[in-house]
Structure 1
């Protein structure tokens, strides 16, 4: 029997760039996971100063490096949850007018989620921003499952609002609904001590 020889596969330029830069992707991922664990598990029960530092981290470039690695993390991990929370907050801060309009449109279609989200009535841009900040502060002074459920409820109301306004495409509505479902599932995993 003759054996065919194949040309070996090459890993590609990104692999060599990682080696040249000295950053081992596995080590970077491990560091990001540790940072997520410290942020969530180390902050629990902390004082207001720690909560404000978490919020400040979200507002500065300090989170961007870690967040890039978090962006590839599965939704059922601490890193993946933090990525989704920071992404949601970033969107609210970049476009609070649209967020408030979409929340207003969606609250009639998702009344229970509206209450869980905890947005002040009427939900103007300032109230929406305040709610997003309170969710992040909650990482330090609340049960993390509550933080996830609250963010999930907010995202669910936004998804309903996008659908009701007929301004967003199906993909945008679907993405926000997926985000809500992922955060809600992560909240249940956190309650069952399965979120790591």
Structure 2
């Protein structure tokens, strides 16, 4: 075997071993289904809304208390916790898909913020699949997407703070599809 062929074979073997080590040992996603890149970001459809009563306009909105459907991790879902509301996203999604519960909550939140002058912090999170830098960007895109919906509903942009934690603050293990789904989220906190 000549030296060029030997160098090529050694390089190919080294590349394969490094790829295996990174995927299986570092990121621990060996053997999992690889979904394509992120879909194009499309604007959300503006829902029809009805005017709020004075009582509704000054009450802090809640997501309605509905919990997460663990069998529907391919859809966007909303959950209401004691101190925040969480919107979970399918893999590689940055947009809030058409979901009546989310539209209703965001409409009530917009009404509350407009009438109270309060502020809100929206934090985007991701699972650990992908590069850290890309995950930070994806988390910020998710937070900014929710912010943009609130701005379209009449909330002043200065009332909304967006940030990203990327993959840095998981709430579940990344070892399962459900755990990764729980980590792909936006947290909305009304500032007191």
TM-score (norm 1): 0.27
TM-score (norm 2): 0.27
